[in-house]
Amino acid sequence: MDYITQHWSFDPFVVLAIVVAVWHEIGLLRLARRSTPEQTRARRRRSLWFYAGLAVLSLAVASPLDYWGYDYFIAHMIQHLLLMFAAPTLVVAGAPWQPLLEVLPARAGSGWSRPLRALGGFVLRPWVSVVLFNAAMLVWHLPGPFDLSENNRAVHIWLTHGSFFAAGVLFWLQFIDSPPFRRRMPAVSQAAALLVTNVVMIGIAMTLSIFVSHSVYAVYNHIPGVTLPAYADQQIGAAILWVCGDFWALPTMIVVIRRLIAADGSVSAALERVLSGGASRTASQGWGWAGGGLGPGGAVGRAGAAGPRAVPTVPGVPGVPAVPAQPSPPDAES
């Protein structure tokens, strides 16, 4: 029990999670004043996923898991999986964006916030999100950056943990419905993105467990009191990354394949579209971004075959298309 009850630590991310939760609650209360009871209940139910994600984030950075991660690579891999997969998927499923935006000042679109909104519109592009996710996973498992993170607390907290969680949120926004954001990536591109990500993850795991014959991380060599050999610890941690990472990748791939089959009518038709040149054209369109410049009223103009048209965007984030208005509440669960 000492492994669980002792070595809890303070982490700035816990304070940040509490602030965001309070911010979100204020937004829910403001939205409830002008919403129907059904809409309010739907938002409240969905917010439970968001709060669960914040709880998992806090658990990853403040529990004994973080403490033991300095001694055991195994614990470090579990922490990374929580930060990149578990916490972000719950946060995205909770769709906290509308309540959070509700608390922003009415004129948040002017002045210093414009560069931030432009940056948000860029990193939310599907291909950018996928590249950032895989880059974060790859770079922070290289020996140099890994050892730097372990030896520098600020780098460990803000750069490593921050980039893992932020990249995870951006990545899973491409696969999980999170109103008012709308998935821009077609199912074919989603399948390709998951496949590429899985290859990167498996490549890291195989490199750490099969392609090297020693521990590649100097920080785990000669730690007093640790009886597990560093190389064996590294191999087990790599296996955890490989197997547990697939707990999220494979179910998502199954959902994507079912979308493809539903759209094309059969497995053979879906495979034919994936392998055909038409699939490539569809994927290239989906991986692109509705752009063309910020137009009047916060809309992004895009010239199409029928001429220019305005595409409604998410409030506060230009270039990110919003979910079209439906008879049902805009943030109700779909």
Here the tokens at position 47 are 């917010």
Residue 306, C-beta contacts closer than 8 angstroms, at least 6 positions apart:
none
Residue 58 has pLDDT above 80, yes or no: yes
**pLDDT tens readout for residues 276-290:** 644 444 444 444 343
Quick: pLDDT tens for 11-34. 889 999 999 999 999 999 999 999
Dig out the tokens for 235 from the structure.
């191999």
The pTM score is 0.78
Q: What pLDDT does residue 117 have?
A: 75
Q: Tell me 275's DSSP state.
A: H
Mean pLDDT estimate for the chain: 81
Specify the residue for token string 């914040």: 54
State residue 298's pLDDT score: 38
Mean pLDDT across 254-281: 70
How sure is the predictor about 322, in pLDDT bands with cuts at 50, 70 and 90?
A: low
Cis peptide bond upstream of 180, omega within 30: yes
What pLDDT digit, counting tens, does each position of 61-97 carry? 999 999 899 889 999 999 999 999 999 999 999 999 9
Instruction: Using the predicted structure, report yes or no on whether residue 226 has a pLDDT greater than 60.
Output: yes
Predicted local distance difference test score (pLDDT) of residue 193:
92
Task: Identify the top-confidence range among 86-95, 267-276, 307-316.
Answer: 86-95
The Cα–Cα gap between 175 and 251 comes to 11
Predicted local confidence at residue 162, as pLDDT:
95
CB-based contacts of 297, cutoff 8 Å, min separation 6: 310
pLDDT of residue 27: 95
Q: pLDDT at position 260, please?
A: 81
Helix axes 73-81, 230-264, angle to 10 degrees: 20
What pLDDT does 332 receive?
42
Instruction: Tell how far CA 247 is from the center of its chain.
Output: 15
CA 198 to CA 186: how far, in whole Å? Answer: 18
| Contact (CB, 8 A) for 204 and 238 | yes
The domains of the chain are located at 2-102+115-288
Q: Which residue has the higher pLDDT, 17 or 261?
A: 17
The C-alpha atoms of residue 10 and residue 153 are separated, in whole angstroms, by 12
Compute the chain's Rg from CA coordinates. Answer: 22
